[in-house]
Amino acid sequence: MKRIIQTIDAPTAIGPYSQAIEVGDTLYVSGQIPLDPKIMKVVEGGIKEQTLQVLNNIGAILKEAGYNYSDVVKSTCFLSDMANFKAMNEVYGLYYSENPPARAAFAVKKLPMGVLIEIETVAVK
């Protein structure tokens, strides 16, 4: 059975998808972009600020579902430009400093709303 996860502390979906779905002991978090959930606008600043907002959005969804960052087993990072990889990694490492999850990171042609980063996450209890 699947459980839909929804929180006001993360951006509402901008399409026909859920913020996250829990099936059994696994949580699938939809790709998060750097929207401030209070105003649904992209945060100001560069890749560091955007990565911080994305990870905070993921954290809010994890919390709503009863998970935390240590439960994350896989992340996929989509970057608008691989030149941002190092700066993104610096912020990402603050959230996953010990026993980091498996991860893929790659550049894509374009991201929603012209953002610099999107991250999807899988967590397991």
Report the relative pairing of strands 26-32 and 35-36 from DSSP bridges: unpaired
Here the tokens at position 119 are 């991250």
pLDDT (tens, 9 = 90+) of the chain, 125 residues, equals 899 999 999 999 888 999 999 999 999 999 999 999 999 999 999 999 999 999 999 999 999 999 999 999 999 999 999 999 999 999 999 999 999 999 999 999 999 999 999 999 999 99
Can you give the pTM of this predicted structure?
0.96
The tokens 């750097």 sit on which residue? 34
Going by the DSSP 8-state scheme, the letter that residue 13 receives in this structure is: P
Rounded Cα distance between 16 and 79, Å, is 22
Please report the pLDDT score of residue 80 as a whole number: 97
Q: Which domains does the chain have, with CATH numbers?
A: 2-124 (3.30.1330.40)
